[in-house]
Structures are given as structure tokens and as C-alpha cells.
Chains A and B, each alone.
Chain A
């Protein structure tokens, strides 16, 4: 059933393709304002309607989705690159190192990352996406480290690892050549989950006013929607659906790599 699982990439691919098409089609900048049309309802020429100060949502939302997805994928990959070797190395080293990494993952994973983001961003005058990426990367490694620790604990007793050791492979070689490649499938699923969580966090930070100043974010669209809830419910709907669709399609895409049920 390899093909059926690969189909799980389709929602993300569709979302990005539609966003890309909309970005290419509307040559206007996403932050172009048209005060006369503030919060006006969807029409044939502006399919999603207009938001605060008359921004065209059909132009803002695709940009916001593309930027959020790019940020999420970059941070998730960084977390993967930091966490996977750390967890696997801890499992192979055993002893104190293993316990420390295990407990550190516990703490970081349950930590209110939203607070951490507030703490760091409060020192920055106007947060941009690079700041956000750095803040998210502070905690993004933990789920990868924990997962690869758990998986590598099983693998370290496997016959092929023992054989590699017996043949004189160094610890590094065992880690890189024999253990890490076998961790890829479960970690890829985590990649999707982490990316989805980052899309939501980015939107949440923008929603409360700590997002990128350009305002091209699903969270800002939601904020406008809440502000004009009764006048223009379409803005709220567009923001909500945007966050939902983007995070869910990333989550599903990650599960394309899901290993077959054991």
C-alpha cells in the first residue's frame, strides 16, 4: 500500500499549488490597501473578500500560507537535524547522558513554548520571521530527540548493530551508517506534526500581536476577523479555515512516511 500512503502528500501539494497560482496571478502586493473596500464581502473579483483597510484577502492569504509553511518546514528540518542525532547518540551512549537527554526532552516538550517565545520576542523591537524561526527552534528539537532516543533504544540491541560493532565500526559510524537511516520513517511523521504545530504557533503569535510587522500572516487575518466579527464574518472564517487547512495538510503530509503498522 505504498501508493496510498504517498497520496497523503496531495493536500499539501494542492494547497501550495493553489497558493502559488494565486500569488502569481495577482500581481498586487499583499499589503496594498484600498480603504473604500474595508471589510467588504466576497465578490467575483475578490473571491475571499476584503479585510482591514481593504486588503484583498485572496492576495494576503496565499502569501501568508506560503510564508508560514516555509517557516514551519525550515524550523522542523532544523529541529530534526539537531534532535535526531542527539537522541540516537544518547541511546547508544547509555548511562548518565541518556538519562539527562531523556529528562531534558520531557522538560522542554512540556514547557510553555508560547511563554518562551514571548520572553525572547519581548526584547526585540519588531519581530520578523528570522526571530520567530530562532525562537521556535529553541524547543523544536525535543520531540525529535525523544523519538529517536526511544527508537534507537530498540535498535541498539539489534543484531546488525552488534555485528557492525564486532566488525570494528566506530561509534560515529554505527550512529551515522547503521542507526540513523533506520529512524527516518518515524521521524518523518514527527516532521509533519512539528511543522503543523509551528504553523499554529506562528498564527497564534501574530494573533496576539507579536508576529511579523508586515501583517501577512494567518494570525493577523484572524485578528482582523475577531475585530470585525459581526460586520464581516467572512474574514474570521477565512482566517480560521486557513490555519486549519495549512496545519492539517502538513500533518497529513508527514504521515505519508508512516511505517506500516507493526
Chain B
């Protein structure tokens, strides 16, 4: 079972990535110039207060001891207590904010992947004739447009001026708000997926198995969707997986734009308030979220492509 081994190595890699990410957070805080306790309290803090914070953050121990404690906490999901909201565990604040971001990202991936694949099918299929070149040009142009420059403008035009969609930060925006925010996030992803799927489908367009399918009387739609798409899925899943990092960055930007609760808002709030335990926990959780999605992508690839699934 070769794919089980591949999957296992992917999971091990995911664990390693989370570990590296967490260690970067740990060492950046301790080794870069500047005292974390002063970062929290400011320059005018009393020595006694500084000592108390150092004790609370465990900064009074030696570096190897701190790192060992940190790794133990990481493994047991014990990420310390919020400095700004005493008594509240950092992990529970992260858990609260995970759901909005996860739903935003999931809906965006579904929209972007299905939209991109649909555009690629339109472009490669016989339905549009010569006009299909316009799709390729449009996706290239959209892929070169950063989310940061069109999301605020579209929000202004559609949500603030024309009011055709609700502002996603509005607590009672509900599903419409989620869909609008996800659609914005899905646009760059969809453009990338469309370009890669177009190339991937174009490569197999002349294959014999597609001619066989046509000869047996399959319609164009059936030929492309049922026979060609699963074979072209590999690069498509890979491009979705490779865009997840950018997607997460985009989610932070959108959460800030809409003042929508979520992991990104939590990270920015904890950064502004210098709430170090919450900040660390949120960044590590976001990293874990990202590698988890990568493993899911590897699984999806194995499930879709018959050549990977075969033992």
C-alpha cells in the first residue's frame, strides 16, 4: 500500500511543520533583542511587576527548561493563560475563534475550486468556440490582481454603497455575509485553479481514452467531467493545497477589513494588547490548521485520482 506510506510521511511532515512553526514563535520571542516582559508592560514598569510577569510566562527558567516546558504544553494543548483576561485559557480563546475562520476558509475553497474548474471546463470544452480565449485572458488578469486591492473597493461598492450584500462584519449578516466574504477570498484561488486546471485538462485533451469515451457515445459534458476531470485532478488539488497559505493570509486581511471575529482578528487583537500566550497559541493553531488542510488535500488527491488510489 504505497499511498498509506505517502500519507504517513505527509502526516509526519505536518507534525514537523507545526513543531518548526511553534519553535520559531518560541525562539523569536526569547532570542530577538528586547525583553518580552517589557514588551508586555512597557518601559515604565516596576522591577517587581516585571519579575511577576517573567514568573507568569516562565521566563525565569533557563532556555532549555523553558523549551522543554513549552513542548510539553504544546503536546498537551496546555498553552497558558491569557494575560489580559486572567483566568481564561489561551486555548479556549483560540477554540472560540477557530469556527468562523474555518467556515470562511472552507466555503472559499469550495467556491474557488468549483468556480475555477467550471471556468477551465468552459475554456477547454467545445461550447464557447473561439470565445474561450477570453476566459484564459480574464483568469490571467484576475490572478495578477491582489486581493488587497479589490476586496476593499468591492466592499465599498457592493456592501457600503449599493447595499446589495450585507457587511460581513455585521453580527446579523448571517449567511449572506459569510458568502460574500468567502466569495472575495475565493476569487484569487479560483483564478489560479482555473489556470492550472486549464493546462492540466489541455494536456490530456488528445488522449485516446477520451476518444474512446466519445466513440462510445458520451456527450462532451460527460467526457470532460466524468472521464477527463479525475485524471487531471492531481495538479488541481496540488494548486489548491499550495494556495492555502495565501488563503489564510487573505482571511486575516478580510477579518480585519470586516472586523469579523476569527483567528486572524484574535491574532491581531492579541498582538495589539501584547497578550503573548494568546498570540502564541493563535499562531500555532493557525499553523496546525494549515498543515491539517494540507493532509486533507493529500487524502483528497488519493481519493480522486485512480492512479494514486491503486495499490
Q: Which residues of A contact B (CB under 8 A)?
A: 106-107, 109-116, 118-120, 122-125, 196, 200-201, 203-204, 207-210, 219, 222, 225-226, 229-230, 233, 236-237, 239-241, 243-244, 247-248, 251
Contact = CB atoms under 8 A, between A and B. Distances in A.
Interface of B: 13, 17, 21, 24-25, 28-29, 32, 34, 36, 39, 144-146, 148-150, 152-153, 155-156, 160, 241-246, 248-249, 252-253, 256-257, 264, 267-268, 271-272, 276, 279, 283, 286-287, 290, 294
Contacts of B268: 208-209
5 contacts: A119-B28, A122-B271, A207-B253, A219-B148, A236-B156
A201 B146 CA distance: 10
B24 A120 contact: yes
Contacts of B272: 209
A196 B148 CA distance: 13
Q: Is the interface of B mostly helix, strand, loop or mixed?
A: helix
Contacts of B25: 119, 122
Contacts of B29: 122-123
A135 to B, nearest CB: 10
Contacts, number: 127
B283 A229 contact: no
A75 B81 CA distance: 37
B17 A107 contact: yes
Nearest to A103: B13
Contact of B148 (A119, A125, A200): A200
Contact of A111 (B36, B245, B276): B245
B28 A110 contact: no
B292 to A, nearest CB: 12
A122 B34 CA distance: 11
Given A122-B271, A236-B153, A240-B149, A208 B245 contact: no
Contacts of A230: 160
A119 B283 contact: yes
A252 B279 CA distance: 38
Nearest to B150: A240
A124 B244 contact: no
A200 B245 contact: no
A244 B146 contact: yes
A253 B145 CA distance: 15
A114 B287 CA distance: 11
B267 A118 contact: yes
A250 to B, nearest CB: 11
Given A114-B246, A119-B24, 7 more contacts: A119-B283, A125-B34, A208-B252, A208-B268, A230-B160, A240-B148, A248-B145
